[in-house]
Amino acid sequence: MPLFEREDDKFRPDLRSQALSVIAIENDFVAGVYDKLASVYDVLFGPLLHPGRIVALERIGIAPGDRVLEVGVGTGINASLYPRHCRVTGIDFSAGMLDKARARMRRKGLSHIRLMQMDAAALKFPDDSFDVVYAPYVVNCVPDPVKVVGEMRRVCKPGGKIAILNHFRSVNPVLSRVDRALSPLTVHIGFKSDLDLPGFLAQAELRPVSIEKVSLPPVWSLVICIKD
């Protein structure tokens, strides 16, 4: 069963006002990093992150006919994991990553998946468009994760699922300091290592039904919410 991981808030500052990371980034920076990584992304992050991808889609439980939005589709590495009985829209800000994803779709004949270039903080979809909105390994890669999740919530249907698979800053005091120290370095390979989960949930006004570690080492968490 999924387990909630909670941090002692006794000595924490106000979660709604604290900074979520020591790093601030802009869209152009993120796009530049991922355009450069596009040709090697699958090698660098494919096998390492794949167990989490498998568990996440099992936990989400996509039903026949569901309309799914994948935020941050990247090279389309999740594509073959989606059941053919759903319709998937994948968006990404990086043109280089989407070129790789389109080639993958053609190669594998994945006609149930469409790809669009789009800013996750300004989704070009009507309200209540999708049954599942899924962001794998992306909220610590964007300039404003709270705004991105607000858009995810907006386009998700009432009763639909919002799922976030991500690395968050450790609750262990020693590892937490390591995450903060590494974040100025990891941002150059596409992600902030110190995104604070309790602060993120509070500021995004998310109320998860489950938070679960999904792979080994246990540094990636799957957060699943149901839109009210």
So what CATH class is 27-226? alpha beta
What average pLDDT does the segment 4-27 reach?
65
pLDDT bin (cut points 50, 70, 90) of residue 217 is confident
- pLDDT of the residue at 133: 98
* Gap between the Cα atoms of 34 and 56, Å rounded: 23
- pLDDT of the residue at 11: 44
What average pLDDT does the segment 31-40 reach?
90
Which residues on adjacent β-strands are paired with residue 210?
Answer: 224
Mean pLDDT, the chain, whole residue set:
90
User: Domain limits of the chain?
Assistant: 27-226
* Gap between the Cα atoms of 139 and 81, Å rounded: 21
pLDDT bin (cut points 50, 70, 90) of residue 17 is low
- pLDDT of the residue at 13: 54
- Residue keyed to tokens 């569901």: 66
What average pLDDT does the segment 158-177 reach?
95
Query: Under 8 Å CB-to-CB from 25, ≥6 apart: which residues?
Result: 142, 143, 187, 192
Q: Residues 117-133: pLDDT tens digits?
A: 999 999 999 999 999 99
* Gap between the Cα atoms of 131 and 227, Å rounded: 10
User: ∠ at Cα 97 (96, 99), nearest 5°?
Assistant: 65
* Whole-structure pTM value: 0.89
- pLDDT of the residue at 27: 84
Taking the CB of residue 50, how many other CB atoms lie within 10 A of it?
15
